[in-house]
Amino acid sequence: MVIPAGDEPGVRSELSWSSYSSRGEALLSLLQLLVPATRESISQGTLVCHPPRSGRENTRSRWFFINGMGTAGPVALLNASEIARLFGRPVHLIHTPTWGLLRDVAESITARTLRKDGKLSRPAMHILVDALENNDRVVLVCHSQGSIVASYIVRKLLRHPSTRPLVKKLELYCIGGVADSLDIDPQLTLAAGHPVPYVEHFANGRDYLAQLGILSHLDSTAGTVYCMAARPGHLLNEHYLPAIVRGDFCQRRSRLYGCAAGVSPGLTVRWRFWKRKPAIMDKAPKPLLLFVDDSKVMRLAADKMLGGEFRVEVAEDGLQAWTMICSNPSISVVFSDLAMPEMDGFALLKKIRTSEDEGIAGLPVIIVTGAERDEEARTEALRLGGTDFISKPFNSTDLLARARAHANYQNERKELAKQAMMDPLTRLGNRRYLEHRIAPGTGIGGAPTVQAVDGATGDLPI
């Protein structure tokens, strides 16, 4: 859904007549959306929207906004002024004019698929270079088609030696983005101690354009992705800004949320750059995680966040997850949603904890809870044996922290179990290992059959 009716209080919605200075202005915006024609931009960074209570613009930072597709001049000004009001910063508007919705869509497809930026990024590029040269911090908020413009700007800045060092000052906030790729520079990132450029994405799970964009290209897009799976809508003011300012997307942890309170948090907060391990260390297999959720968006997000350090398997419901757990003893940690069809998270947790297989019964199970009935759900999950909890919408830092902690614990537990079954001198299985390998009731006359010890290698399956 792109333009469902919203109920956000106090929002200057793009769909409301009262948001515009006159009805004629609103009708003009609608006419430009429907009628194809070549139009000029109303601002290439020259128009500045100021917050209601504002002193002089901070000379050490500058904020820019690039609008999305189908955005006439009055709508772009409405978007920029709302950003200025909510974040308390003067915002320079870089307006990409609409040539009619159909031509805008065609232009976006050409820019994204054929890598031909055309009218999109060339004017904005020069404006941002000037801002980066004269400011310590440049913030670029882009909506919809604006994320394509941003991705081209980043590529061009990183490509040229004269502008490449400036990118460390750039922050990108992509809202409802339709771009299919966006990169950070590893060398600049390592030198700066934070991602270069710094990137955050915000997407509604039921925003059709975001589904075609960022949510379908998580593997090729750098930056933290904050997604509300059940939230619809694509309009910036109506469907995104209020939730971002409240912290609904990020549990009040994103850098953009911090800016809404007039704060400029440090870039080094909540981020760490991981260097690749030497090749000899890469021979050890990555721990295997199972992520269970009926939302495709959540499964894709988890796979992107965890895939760098772990092997990730996903399941759509508890029944599918239970089949995978029983057939794959390599699974180290299970992340499970609660509300799912076929078999919900509570039933899956109960099956795991009551399993006769000690390896399955001892699996760490991290429950992924939503905002609704959170405390009640946690209490019930704890009673059934839940190991840990993480709330939606989650982010990569929290998800990775729990995955690392419980995967390491599971690995250490298995190693201790192996050592307890091994003779320290001969490296052969001891009496406890022999008893562990007995399969009762399979011998002649009901006597147990004993399986042979696996040689002197010390590689003891448990």
Name residues of the chain where pLDDT drops below 50. 1-2, 268-283, 437-462
DSSP string, 342-392: SS-HHHHHHHHHT-SSHHHHT--EEEEE-STTHHHHHHHHHHHT--EEEES
pLDDT in tens, 77-132: 999 999 999 999 999 999 988 888 888 888 777 777 656 655 556 778 888 999 99
Among 310, 320, 370, 373, residue whose Cα is nearest residue 342: 320
Taking residue 35's Cβ as centre, other Cβ atoms within 10 Å add up to: 12
Among 208, 181, 229, 220, residue whose Cα is nearest residue 105: 208
- Amino acid at residue number 388: D
User: Cis omega before residue 393 (within 30°)?
Assistant: yes
User: Which pLDDT does position 71 carry in this prediction?
Assistant: 92
* Cα within 13 Å of Cα(125), Cβ side: 20
User: Which pLDDT does position 190 carry in this prediction?
Assistant: 83
Going from the N-terminus, what domains does the chain have, and what CATH number goes with each? 17-260 (3.40.50), 279-420 (3.40.50.2300), 423-462 (no CATH)
| pTM score, whole prediction | 0.63
Among 157, 145, 229, residue whose Cα is nearest residue 196: 157
User: Which pLDDT does position 242 carry in this prediction?
Assistant: 93
Calpha distance 462→460 (Å, rounded): 6
User: Which pLDDT does position 165 carry in this prediction?
Assistant: 94
pLDDT in tens, 272-307: 333 333 333 334 578 899 999 988 888 888 888 898
For 115: left if phi > 0, alpha if psi spans -120 to 50, otherwise beta; the answer is left
- Amino acid at residue number 452: A
User: Which pLDDT does position 371 carry in this prediction?
Assistant: 55
Query: What six digits make up the tokens of 143?
Result: 């909506």
